[in-house]
């Protein structure tokens, strides 16, 4: 089941236009990305392997990984370290449409601070290489 979910996400991401996306293998300097919203998948060594093997097969060089405080720090460390060894960057991903409002905007700062604290506590190859905020306010009903 996990493998099919991963393949569906990667397949969807492969249709997102990027420079050189049709090249196989990718031209030097080309970045092919995907998003991984189901962070619980990094808890399992088997899932981590499947995700990263498939990413390598598809020449994905960056994964935007949803951060979730319920996921153990050791799972993030293992996943990011393994990804780094394969040349795949992992960016922290978080956001919600209501983060555009002043009373919820602090959640962006909380995410950034969490990533900064995490990166301070781990080795270089276990660090997030960036942060992606996915706010999407157009989803809001008003």
Which tens digit of pLDDT belongs to each residue from 116-129? 999 999 999 999 99
The stretch 99-105 carries a mean pLDDT of 94
pLDDT value at residue 98: 93
pLDDT value at residue 6: 52
Rg (CA), the chain: 16
**Residue whose entry in the numeric block shows the structure tokens 């990413």:** 55
Structure tokens at 140: 């809001």
- How far apart are alpha carbons 105 and 19 in whole angstroms? 33
* Burial status of residue 95 (CB atoms within 10 A of its CB: 0-12, 13-18, 19 or more): middle
Percent of the chain with pLDDT strictly greater than 90 = 75
Q: What is the pLDDT of residues 33-51, one digit of tens each?
A: 999 999 999 999 999 999 9
Query: In Å, how far are 4, 100, 112 from 130, measured between CA atoms?
Result: 27, 21, 10
Mean pLDDT of the chain: 86
Contacts of 6 (CB under 8 A, 6+ apart): 41, 47, 50, 51, 54
- How far apart are alpha carbons 117 and 100 in whole angstroms? 24
CA 70 to chain centre: 16
**pLDDT bucket at 31, cuts 50 / 70 / 90:** confident
CATH class of 32-139: alpha beta
User: H-helix or E-strand containing 45?
Assistant: helix 45-57
Q: What is the pLDDT of residues 65-77, one digit of tens each?
A: 999 988 999 999 9
pLDDT value at residue 110: 96
pLDDT value at residue 30: 79
């Amino acid at each position: 089941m996990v493998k099919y979910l991963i393949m569906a996400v990667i397949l969807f991401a492969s249709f997102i236009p990027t420079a050189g996306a049709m090249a196989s293998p990718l031209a030097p300097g080309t970045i092919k990305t995907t998003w991984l919203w189901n962070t619980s998948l990094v808890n399992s060594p088997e899932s981590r392997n499947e995700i990263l093997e498939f990413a390598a097969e598809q020449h994905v060089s960056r994964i935007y990984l949803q951060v979730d405080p319920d996921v153990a720090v050791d799972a993030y460390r293992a996943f990011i370290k393994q990804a780094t060894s394969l040349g795949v960057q992992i960016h922290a991903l978080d956001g919600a449409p209501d983060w555009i409002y002043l009373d919820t905007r602090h959640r962006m700062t909380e995410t950034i601070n969490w990533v900064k604290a995490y990166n301070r506590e781990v080795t270089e190859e276990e660090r997030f290489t960036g942060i992606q905020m996915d706010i999407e306010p157009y989803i809001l009903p008003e």
